[in-house]
Each structure stands twice: as structure tokens, then as C-alpha cells.
């Protein structure tokens, strides 16, 4: 059972480059999330989705885009990478209902130089 899978694990970008962080889950979860984790700052919500075709902004959406064409996949797009986007990115998912447990991927460490 794979759970939540994120790729790549590490990436170095130059300023202005673009990339997509991939996230897929095999638990048929409706809810999916993207967080960024900065040192000493905890997790900040970038975008989330409550189901295929539905996305919404979190606390820090600027500079990012998402799409949710299927239940399984929730890619995060950086169009013009900036040094401020250097961070560790986590994708997470959960089922709808009483069980609010989040399942996290292992993270993507991104450096923008």
C-alpha cells in the first residue's frame, strides 16, 4: 500500500525556472493538500482540494498553481521560481468524514538559487 507518493525528493532550480511537484495517493481520498515547511515556521497551507475538479487557496498561494483532474493526483506548479520558494514541500491527503487523520508524503526538498 503506497499511500501518498511525492516526486522528486530533491530538486535545485535556477531563478525563473518552472517545475511541477507531483503527488499521487492510492487511498481514494477526497481531500488533498500542499504544505510548505520553512525552518522554525511550521507548515503553511499553499492549496487544497476537496475533490476532483475543485481547488482552493490556502494561506500562502502566491507563486503556485494546482490542478485536480483526478482523485489520485494533485500536482503543484511553480511557474517562475524565486529564492523565497526554497522550502520543503509536503503533500497530504485525508478521507472525508469523521476520520480526519492526514496522511503525508515524504516531502520534496526544493532549493532555488
Partner 1 sequence: GDSVTQMEGPVTLSEEAFLTINCTYTATGYPSLFWYVQYPGEGLQLLLKATKADDKGSNKGFEATYRKETTSFHLEKGSVQVSDSAVYFCALSGDNDMRFGAGTRLTVKP
Query: What is the DSSP secondary structure assignment for residue 41, as one 8-state letter?
Result: T
Contact mark string toward partner 1, 44..83, x via CB under 8 A: -x--x-x-----x-x-------------------------
43 touches partner 1 (CB under 8 A): yes
Contacts of 8 (CB under 8 A, 6+ apart): 21, 22, 108
Name the segment binding partner 1 (CB under 8 A); options: 13-21, 61-69, 78-86, 90-98. Answer: 90-98
Q: How many residues line the site for partner 1 (CB under 8 A)?
A: 24
Best CA proximity match to 81, nearest among 20, 34, 16: 16
CA distances in angstroms from 93 to 14, 48, 86, 111, listed in the order given: 30, 9, 23, 24
Contact 105, 23 (CB under 8 A): yes
The least distance separating partner 1 from the CB of residue 18, rounded to whole angstroms, comes to 25
Give CA–CA dist 25/3, Å, rounded.
Answer: 5
Contact mark string toward partner 1, 3..42, x via CB under 8 A: -x--------------------------x-x-x----xxx
Residues that bind partner 1 (CB under 8 A): 4, 31, 33, 35, 40-43, 45, 48, 50, 56, 58, 90, 92, 94, 98, 100-102, 104-107
Amino acid at each position: 500500500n503506497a499511500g501518498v507518493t511525492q516526486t522528486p525528493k530533491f530538486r535545485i532550480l535556477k531563478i525563473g525556472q518552472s517545475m511541477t511537484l507531483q503527488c499521487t495517493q492510492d487511498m481514494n481520498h477526497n481531500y488533498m493538500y500542499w504544505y510548505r515547511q520553512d525552518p522554525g515556521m511550521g507548515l503553511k497551507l499553499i492549496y487544497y482540494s476537496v475533490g476532483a475538479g475543485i481547488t482552493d487557496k490556502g494561506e500562502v498561494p502566491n507563486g503556485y498553481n494546482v490542478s485536480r483532474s483526478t482523485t489520485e493526483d494533485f500536482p503543484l506548479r511553480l511557474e517562475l521560481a524565486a529564492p523565497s520558494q526554497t522550502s520543503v514541500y509536503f503533500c497530504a491527503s485525508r478521507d472525508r468524514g469523521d476520520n480526519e487523520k492526514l496522511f503525508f508524503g515524504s516531502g520534496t526538498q526544493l532549493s532555488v538559487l
